[in-house]
Amino acid sequence: MRIGILGTGNMATALGGAWVRSGHDVVVGGRDPGAAAATAARVRAAGHGALAEAAAHGEIVLVAVPADAAPDLVRGLAGDLAGRTVIDCTNPVVHGADGPMLVTDGATSVARRMTEAAPGAHVVKAFHLCHASVWTLDPPVFEGEPLAVPYCGDDPAALDRVAALITSMGCAPLPCGGLSRAPYLEATAAFAIGAWFSGAQPRHAFPAPAEAVLVPDGTVPVPSATTAVR
């Protein structure tokens, strides 16, 4: 796949490297041409250039900049991003006395703000949950299981493309619904980062489906649209 990366920092380097290893055609774009060239060289990307050049290159475009800069960045590139799959890996969190806190109101998301800023782009929230270092593992496998990568978005073709990208890296796609669920994925990152940084094991809070909802016959009830989930 042709992938453009907007940003030259930790996530651009970690995911760019993983995608090059997985055989993708990656171009790194940055507002600092020297930084774009250096990151591209570090990950052995096919090319580098200005932000608009990377946006125009990708059938998939990763936005790897601070959360508060992402909507304005995609607004400025809206023409280049129209019709493309745009991955939002940002975490709108600040680290406070109580741990990582969302800077959104929790009802909206950076992914939604990016969609509003560039309405022609097909935004998918993905790759935001794990620390950048996880993407340097080849492949990211834990306790014998491939890392599950949660993602959500509204465009079916964009979701299929991101699922294929996740699979190509040796990870397991974990579809989480439409973009209306992006606030939950962003809040999950705040929760998980807080747990990890305190030395806890957040995965222990999530048993396997068959063990999560204990019913006498061992089946997992599927809630209907009118059923409150307890």
Q: Which residues sit at the interface with ligand NAP, rule CB under 6 A?
A: 7-12, 30-32, 35, 64-67, 69, 73, 89-91, 128, 131-132
User: Of 106, 58, 48, nearest to 81 (Cα)?
Assistant: 58
Question: Closest CB to ligand NAP belongs to which residue?
Answer: 9
At closest approach, how far in Å is the CB of 57 from ligand NAP?
16
Q: Supply the DSSP symbol for 199.
A: T
Q: Using CA atoms, how far apart are residues 54 and 97, in angstroms rounded to an integer? A: 38
Nearer to ligand NAP, 32 or 138 (CB): 32
Nearer to ligand NAP, 38 or 172 (CB): 38
Compute the residue count for the chain: 230
At closest approach, how far in Å is the CB of 52 from ligand NAP?
11
As separate numbers, helices (DSSP H) first and strands (DSSP E) second, the chain gives: 9, 12
* Token pair of 207 as six digits: 């048993």
Are 3 and 27 in contact by the 8 Å Cβ rule? The answer is yes
At closest approach, how far in Å is the CB of 13 from ligand NAP?
7
Nearer to ligand NAP, 11 or 60 (CB): 11
At closest approach, how far in Å is the CB of 102 from ligand NAP?
12
Chain-centre distance of CA 46, in angstroms?
Answer: 22
Nearer to ligand NAP, 35 or 172 (CB): 35
At closest approach, how far in Å is the CB of 76 from ligand NAP?
8
Nearer to ligand NAP, 67 or 179 (CB): 67
Are 51 and 88 in contact by the 8 Å Cβ rule? The answer is no
State the pairing for strand pair 85-88/93-96: unpaired
* Cα diameter, the chain: 62
Nearer to ligand NAP, 64 or 158 (CB): 64
At closest approach, how far in Å is the CB of 128 from ligand NAP?
5
Q: Using CA atoms, how far apart are residues 179 and 120, in angstroms rounded to an integer? A: 15
